[in-house]
Amino acid sequence: MSKENGIYVANAPVSYGAFEVTVGIDPNVPDGIELLDAVAAGGYDGIDLGPVGYLGSGAELGRRLAERGLGLAGAYIEFTFHDSERVTTLMPELDAMLDTFDAVAPFTDTPAPRPTIADAGSDARHSAPGSGARNPDSGLTNEQWDKFTIGMNRVLERCRERGYEPTLHCETGSFIESTAEIEKVLELTDIDVCLETGHQLLGGGDPLDFFRKWTPRVNHVHLKDVTTSVFDDIVRMSQPSSAIWANEAFPRLGEGNFDVAGFVGMLIASDFQGWLVVEQDIFPTTVERFAQAIDDQRINRDYLRALGV
């Protein structure tokens, strides 16, 4: 599969309510095969992995993707980078993810999937989403940043030993939340960045300004729109980061407060090559909500196609 402009558009299980805090826990999570069918029918080039095993395992997953004309865009994993013991504990999960990448590779001709690396944050950060920008003192100490760098470099080395180039994902409730925190990681390590428009906006950043400044370091994109009033209410009512999904702060593309069209135009003009993953995180509350998600993601794909990707 080749793309004239080099941008491959993927969807993600989280757009249908399937992610780490729901798969195997919430009975309303859709079946993995049903989700793959929906993504393919929506016109996407690929899909993010979601929790390992959810969409299938090994060559079985590769065949399922190939049958639907889908590639694998990447997979998300969180580490407590400043705690060496926790990094060690999570390494087998990283290896399982990379094993899946290896197993799928013979079945796809799209760009290689990105190990999408995030910080796990803390209870305090998750209880006060957006505090990275509002209260910078809530972040890591200098000593913790030193340990963070060591931990992240261990993860980067493992990914690269396995033949995959990772990408840095900012996340609300983590210690990589504000623009200053993202930039600190880029200065401390050589990891490139997943421009995560939704979480960067929630962290007080401007994805367009960030892209202008850091274009050479952007190797992956997670595209979300944001209804800022929903997040403002979450902050005002002192709700935790989980309220972002429960209150559906991420609307369909073009229906929120982010300049999606302007960003996509900038991305095309920059000659960005690689995966753009559409995400509209929800909780899988009902069967009807899953049906709505299928429609939402088809509409999102049509919207992007009209913008040239």
CB 252 within 8 A of CB 299: yes
State pLDDT tens for residues 21-33: 889 888 888 899 9
State pLDDT tens for residues 253-309: 999 999 999 999 999 999 999 999 999 999 888 888 989 999 999 999 999 999 999
Distance CA(225)–CA(110), nearest Å, equals 25
**Per 3-state DSSP, what percentage of the chain is helix, strand, and coil (rounded to 5)?**
50, 15, 40
Q: What percent of the chain has pLDDT over 70?
A: 99
- The fold of 53-273 is TIM Barrel (3.20.20)
CA 108 to chain CA mean position, Å: 21
In this predicted structure, the answer to whether residue 173 has a pLDDT above a threshold of 70 is yes
DSSP labels for 191-256?
A: -EEEEEHHHHHHTT--HHHHHHHHGGGEEEEEE----HHHHHHHHHTT--TTHHHHTT---STTSS
Predicted pLDDT at 84: 98
Sign of the alpha-carbon dihedral angle for 36, 196, 249, 128: positive
Provide the 10 A C-beta neighbour count for residue 160.
12
Please give the average per-residue pLDDT across 129-157, as a whole number: 97
Predicted pLDDT at 1: 60
- Domain spans, the chain: 53-273
In this predicted structure, the answer to whether residue 2 has a pLDDT above a threshold of 60 is no
